């Protein structure tokens, strides 16, 4: 029968009319497929091997909250994250420190005062013995310094050191509701970045008068970290400010000789020859006028300058590079500074409360350098800065003058500038698109 079947399967025949197929032949054809299915199943009557199951309950000791690692000689590195409401005593308790001498030292020594300003989220690290004695403690304080307390043969001592840090690139965006400082605070930006932003765009935007609700900014900057903890900020790398619909962009560039500044994407210098204002954040209380009622003399007279209202002690900046020609007292001006600039320009800063260190007659200053502080000396009814702008000795209104720009990127450096600025500009594009999507 099998021989006849092989002959039939081997033959090539023309199609024949349908006829009855015996059931036994279907079984023969299907056997291989049943074999494949069976390979993935369990053979019938199979008895699986019996597995013993035992329930084991053991008591384990949980580690103390925080991190602890053995350093050898029965000493441990421990660390604790500061919580709101923590005190030095509660931190030491969570670190497992049982050392009355150390507690007394940390509460009384002058060198550990920065430990009293505990910042929630920061870490306190300590080396302790198994008995809870403190051998070493470190903490990054609010000034970015590392407080180190360590045990010596003469007892505990405390020093502050500058930690090594790594610079990371960070970015933030914000929207103006009331002021630049309020917006940067809401965005979680460090005060130093806000000051840099105001300085970068001060030649194009008057932050006293030009800001409007809904203006937006994006900034890319350096953030400094030490052992994974934020310790401060560095330089702004690139920024964008949208003021009343006008878009201003700036990219920082520094050549191989260390000379640098902020430039537009096209390579134009963001710095004008003079800053728009000698104070970062203030308000104009009295403008340039040919006739103004003097609040002290009670007479009408010309006011050949700009008055900026600001608290006593507010920093006053030189609006351009120049040579200090006068520092001292001058009648109604009170304490005054005069700076001579190239091409016949001069600036005067009056009613100061004091002068910054190094601001003396004959000293050269650079644009943006702090030269004095707001006061109310001389004929002044309250704290403010009186600022004058002179051209060849004649007083002029600085708010109406078109200031010439600083030198642009040279052709020799243009290729390098474009290569460095391109990735930063791409990130600014992403930040702006993100802001617009958020507003939509």
CATH of the domain at 193: 3.10.450.350
The residue from 161, 182, 208 where one domain ends is 161
Whether 124 and 192 map to the same domain: the answer is: no
pLDDT at 287: 54
Question: What is the spatial distance between Cα 336 and Cα 348, in angstroms, rounded to a whole number?
Answer: 7
Q: How many domains does the chain have?
A: 3
pTM above 0.75, yes or no: no
pLDDT at 232: 81
Whether 309 and 201 map to the same domain: the answer is: no
Q: Could you tell me which residues are beta bridge partners of residue 329?
A: 335
Whether 319 and 358 map to the same domain: the answer is: yes
Question: What is the spatial distance between Cα 80 and Cα 59, in angstroms, rounded to a whole number?
Answer: 26
Question: What is the spatial distance between Cα 194 and Cα 200, in angstroms, rounded to a whole number?
Answer: 10
Question: What is the spatial distance between Cα 102 and Cα 92, in angstroms, rounded to a whole number?
Answer: 9
Whether 130 and 218 map to the same domain: the answer is: no
In the block, tokens 């043969």 appear at 153
Q: Which domain holds residue 82?
A: 67-161
Whether 155 and 83 map to the same domain: the answer is: yes
The residue from 111, 131, 161 where one domain ends is 161
Question: What is the spatial distance between Cα 309 and Cα 331, in angstroms, rounded to a whole number?
Answer: 20
Q: Is residue 173 part of a domain?
A: yes
Contacts of 183 (CB under 8 A, 6+ apart): 174, 175, 176, 177, 217
Per-position pLDDT tens, the chain of length 440 = 444 434 433 344 444 444 444 544 444 444 444 444 443 344 555 556 667 777 777 776 655 444 445 554 577 888 888 899 888 888 888 988 888 888 888 888 888 887 888 888 888 899 988 888 999 998 888 777 888 899 988 888 988 888 888 889 999 999 999 888 889 889 888 888 998 998 898 778 878 778 899 999 999 999 988 877 787 889 999 999 999 999 999 999 987 777 778 999 999 998 888 887 898 766 666 655 554 444 554 454 566 788 988 899 999 999 889 999 999 999 889 999 999 998 899 999 999 999 999 899 999 999 889 999 999 998 888 899 999 999 998 888 887 777 777 788 989 999 999 999 999 999 999 988 776 555 44
Whether 344 and 428 map to the same domain: the answer is: no
pLDDT at 169: 93
> Do residues 76 and 68 touch, judged by C-beta distance below 8 A?
yes
Q: How far is CA 347 from CA 318, 391, 397, in A?
A: 8, 9, 11
pLDDT at 236: 95
Locate 288 and state its tokens: 């340039």
> Do residues 367 and 319 touch, judged by C-beta distance below 8 A?
yes
Q: Is residue 254 part of a domain?
A: yes
Q: Is residue 38 part of a domain?
A: no
Q: Could you tell me which residues are beta bridge partners of residue 174?
A: 217
Q: Would you give the DSSP letter of residue 177?
A: S
Whether 214 and 263 map to the same domain: the answer is: yes
């Amino acid at each position: 029968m099998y021989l006849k079947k092989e002959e039939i399967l081997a033959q090539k025949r023309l199609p024949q009319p349908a006829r009855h197929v015996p059931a036994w032949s279907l079984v023969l054809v299907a056997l291989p497929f049943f074999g494949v299915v069976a390979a993935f199943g369990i053979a019938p009557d199979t008895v699986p091997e019996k597995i013993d199951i035992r329930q084991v309950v053991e008591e384990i000791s949980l580690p103390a909250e925080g991190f602890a690692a053995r350093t050898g000689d029965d000493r441990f590195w421990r660390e604790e994250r500061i919580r709101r409401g923590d005190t030095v005593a509660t931190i030491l308790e969570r670190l497992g420190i049982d050392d009355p001498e150390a507690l007394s030292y940390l509460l009384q020594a002058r060198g550990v005062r920065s430990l009293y300003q505990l910042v929630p989220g920061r870490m306190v690290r300590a080396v302790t013995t198994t008995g809870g004695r403190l051998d070493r403690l470190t903490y990054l304080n609010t000034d970015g310094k590392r407080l180190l307390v360590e045990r010596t043969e003469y007892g505990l001592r405390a020093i502050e050191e500058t930690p090594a840090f790594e610079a990371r690139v960070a970015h933030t965006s914000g929207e103006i509701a009331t002021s630049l400082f309020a917006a940067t605070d809401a965005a979680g930006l460090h005060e130093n970045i806000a000051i840099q932003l105001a300085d970068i765009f001060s030649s194009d935007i008057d932050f006293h008068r030009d800001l409007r609700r809904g203006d937006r900014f994006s900034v890319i900057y350096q953030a400094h970290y030490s052992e994974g903890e934020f310790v401060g900020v560095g330089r702004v790398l690139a920024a964008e400010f949208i003021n009343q619909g006008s878009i201003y962009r700036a990219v920082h560039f520094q050549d191989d000789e260390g000379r640098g500044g902020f430039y537009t994407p096209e390579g134009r210098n963001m710095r004008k020859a003079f800053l728009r204002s000698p104070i970062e954040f203030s308000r104009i209380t009295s403008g340039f006028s040919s006739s103004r009622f003097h609040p002290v003399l009670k007479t009408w007279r010309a006011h050949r300058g700009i008055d900026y209202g600001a608290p006593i002690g507010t920093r006053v900046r030189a609006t351009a590079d120049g040579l200090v020609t006068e520092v001292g007292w001058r009648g109604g001006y009170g304490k005054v500074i005069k700076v001579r600039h190239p091409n016949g320009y001069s600036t005067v800063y009056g009613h100061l409360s004091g002068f910054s260190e190094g601001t003396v007659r004959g000293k050269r200053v650079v644009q943006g350098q702090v030269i004095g502080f707001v006061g109310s000396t001389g004929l002044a009814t309250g704290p403010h800065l009186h600022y004058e702008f002179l051209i060849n000795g004649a007083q002029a209104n600085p708010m109406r003058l078109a200031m010439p720009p600083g030198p642009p990127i040279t052709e020799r450096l243009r290729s390098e500038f474009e290569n460095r600025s391109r990735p930063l500009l791409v990130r600014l594009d992403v930040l702006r698109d993100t802001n617009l999507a958020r507003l939509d």
